[in-house]
Amino acid sequence: MIAEFRLPDLGEGLTEAEVVQWLVAPGDQVALNQTLAEVETAKAVVELPSPYEGTVSTLHAEAGETVAVGAPLIAFDVVGEEEAPVSSDDGAEKAQPNLVGYGAAPTTAGRPARRARRIGGTPAVVDTAVLEAAPHDAAPTVAIDSVVERPRSTPPVRAHAKRLGIDLVLVAAEVGDRLITRADVDAYAERTGARGTRADEAPSIATSVPSSPAALAADERETRIPIRGVRKHTAAAMVQSAFTAPHVTVFHTVDVTATMDLLANLRDDRSLSEHRIGPLAVVAKAVCLALGRTPGLNSRWDEPAGEIVQHNYVDLGIAAATERGLIVPMIRDAERLTLVGLADAVKTLAEVARSGKTSPAELAGGTFSISNIGVFGVDAGTPILPPGQSGILAVGAVRRQPWEFRGDIALRQVMTLSLSFDHRLVDGAEGARFLKDVADILEEPGRAMLLN
């Protein structure tokens, strides 16, 4: 029978997703829970597992195409058991819905096998012409029929290989049946002399800038980029926030020399050598403590209910700049974590965000956010509130400069904090008190012992 798999709701009521790439093709045999495709929502890249075991009949969307939730995505020719019906409240039978991570009961034992990739109906093989044209030591001698599976790699690695003009099938012939890394691609490029634009190589002025505008064709004078994915979601969220919540931003520059000395001492502690504790972790801890004294900054405005909802927990958002755009993943129940725990959470969060594997669940909600603009060398700014939050703190760069200290002028390390808040929920005095609490902890970390 023909069974259709429709795009499920991938979380938080998202209405559509873009097909990044298909990992199967019509005619392929697929196993239950085998990854079918990678799709990009407004928040994350998600792998879709197969809810059926059978043969791929039809792909209803091309790579790069946006599909609405509930629309047909792929069809299977399923041999054997009919799809199990489920009775509704009125006694009628309806099809069992297929959601990500769920599917029909397994009908075969053992681990699902990867299907060999086919191009034009035949298994993919190594391009012998490329191997023959390359230096003799460029690639090892391999059996052509041994490389038949789609090379395993992540989307950023595939994009990097594409920029260099490298076929990952050839790289797979060298590294074997394991996940191909960026280092593998670069090593192959070095050996074969592959040409392309490396991410760490800036094009020269002579080759990248034309001598005059007339040297460019009409279609080369501008680049049009579709508004979709994270960029589309971020734009809509920022417009909604900017024109819904009345923003107020206040600034405070604080002497953080004591905090930097504390971090230096922690780095010298061998028992903490596996943990990377930096200024952002200290700021995160100070924010969690200060929010306990200023609950208005850990609240949201519920317009339909006519209520202010105060959160008795802190789901701390950390803004992260990625290749796909700005995302704000959450550290759940951050107020329960120690300084070391927060440092580990920030590190993990950043690594997952850079890999593009942040899940929609990790991006949902949040009660307060931090934006570390200091990593870009910026001192201060006016951050826009994430929708549904009443406060966001921008953390500036730490700079050594002359500063008044104990009645004299000394060279100290200072940082500027920028707090934006929703003036419907927080008045100026409360916002200033919160900022002062955070600044006091950074100026004298021992003050954290006085807060509860």
The residues carrying an active-site annotation are 423
335, 313 Cβ separation under 8 angstroms: yes
353, 320 Cβ separation under 8 angstroms: yes
51, 19 Cβ separation under 8 angstroms: no
298: CB partners within 8 A, 6+ apart: 291, 310, 311, 314, 367, 368, 390, 391
3-state helix, strand, coil in the chain (%, to 5): 30, 25, 45
Give, in order, the Cα–Cα distances in Å from 217 to each of 45, 151, 213, 223. Answer: 35, 37, 9, 12
User: E strands, 53-99, where?
Assistant: 54-59, 66-68, 72-77, 85-87, 93-95
Name the residue type at position 387. P
Q: Of 169, 68, 160, 54, which Cα lies nearest the Cα of 108?
A: 54
Q: What are phi and psi of 47, to 5 degrees?
A: -90, 130
Distance between CA 434 and CA 286 in Å, rounded?
Answer: 10
Distance between CA 330 and CA 11 in Å, rounded?
Answer: 15
Distance between CA 197 and CA 181 in Å, rounded?
Answer: 17
